[in-house]
Amino acid sequence: MTSPTDASARLDPHYEIADIDRRLFGGFVEHLGRHIYDGIFEPGHPSADSDGFRTDVIELVKELGVSTIRYPGGNFVSGYKWEDGIGPKAGRPRRLDLAWHSTETNEVGLHEFQAWLDRVGSELMLAVNLGTRGTPEALDLLEYANSDAQTAWTDQRTANGRETPFGVKMWCLGNEMDGPWQIGHLDADDYGKLASRTAKAMRMLDPGVELVACGSSGRGMPTFGSWERTVLEHTFDDVDFISCHSYYQEHDGDAQEFLASGVDMARFIESVVAIADTVAATKKNDKRIMISFDEWNVWYLHREDGTESGHEFKGGAWPVAPRLLEDKYNALDAVVFGDLLITLLQHADRVRSASLAQLVNVIAPIMTEPGGPAWRQTTFFPFAITSRLGQGRALRVPVSSASFTSEKLGDVPTLNAVATIDDEGVSLFVVNRSTTDAADLRVDLTPLVRELGRGVEVIESHLLHDDDLYAANTLENTERVGVREAAASVDGDVLTVALPAVSWAAIRLA
């Protein structure tokens, strides 16, 4: 067994990135597969509450620590009539969902989902349908959700059991409208005009809303870059955010290349920021468009057999809540996932909102079995820990370590880290991307100790690592993979952390 390689870092409270917007730890719930039905909502389950929501899932979502939850899609929203999900359930129509080739029962709609959010302690972020619908329908939904005037829509809201407004702050102007798969797909010019018209109208009704324009569905889209520029040229004065979407997976068993995913995400963010600021410069405007990274995750979209996940049902079959996109996550996936969280924090100055896609059953950190248990997938752990410990302000943590060569991305540092600081202490998040070498990381705490005027100590540590990179938590063994205490200690002004190959760690200092 080879000796661990040496690595060094510096933790300085003056290396500030920005205050962390808690919306960076958001989630995403779409009417897709078993996410809602047989996921969060299963009236016949032993744990179900009086409204049919699984309380075991509620407790896990609370533990996960999601802040804002984007709803109801996703591809689903581009064919959705929000009015189908309000009013007495007995009168709600069953509809065909073209996005996922399923039948939507509309048992859960806006009111029910808000009731679930109240239980889990998260805020609602709504997406409007700009695929098969447009500005008038978006205004109807905004009036129904947010207005306190007496109108036909607010009277209907009251009749449906809610007199006070929902008060939704953040709104997405459609979903992935650059994608040819999207119902109502538009080119950048047409979408930009539609988004601008809709945004202007929505602000006339509710000036306090925060609006997200659709960015590219991924950095690999053929229109990436030109799409952002054109859309922002139309919407710059009207929106607060532009979205990023990105998913990662291991290809052809190349774990080392997969472990470079965080670098790809960083370059995606920095490219979008550069484009947004270029548009600002051409408009001679100091406004800064922020990023809503409102879909991100590990997703095995492209399978080894050449098929794509999510397209199992075609032809005449329109099932209710089919098993779609139920990826089983392993230890390797969780380490990459933890690195993606580090990357988001490293860009907290411009990434002010992010939504893990998704939450339950569908490419999710939480899995359920109908009538049976709910359990944590491997990706649950880095999210829950980072959400809980990643408070206050984000700090850059320069790391000196070995590197490896990525075929797509060039030289990639083996170690990556970020820190956060708040009134109670400091949290360090670090990943070892090497598939072969452990590392002993020595972190110089001198600037921190000098600033505080006293020493610090490790009060909490977590390590996610498994000798079997492909170990996973399953229905048969729900606790196969977890986190354990990391080998971390402070000696004088130096923090030492032992990092096995392919590992993620979180250290809390007080």
Which residues are catalytically annotated?
176, 295
Q: What sign does the CA torsion over 131, 135, 140, 142 have? A: positive
Element holding 234 (H helix, E strand) = helix 226-235
Element holding 356 (H helix, E strand) = strand 351-357
CA–CA distance, 257 with 339 (Å, rounded to integer): 13
Kindly provide the b/e burial profile for residues 148-178, where b requires at least 16 CB atoms within 10 angstroms of the residue's own CB: eeeeebbeebeeeebeebbebbbbbbbbbbb
Angle between helices 380-389 and 331-346 (to 10 degrees): 30
Residue 210 identity (one-letter amino acid): E
Tokens of 292: 């809503």
Nearest to 127 by CA among 355, 347, 291, 366: 355
147 touches 167 (CB < 8 A): no
Nearest to 447 by CA among 93, 81, 12, 4: 12
Cis peptide before 79 (omega within 30 of 0): no
Specify the 3-state DSSP secondary structure of 138: helix
Cβ neighbours of residue 13 closer than 8 Å, sequence gap 6 or more: 395, 421, 426, 447, 448, 451
Q: What sign does the CA torsion over 34, 358, 466, 376 have? A: negative
174 touches 292 (CB < 8 A): no
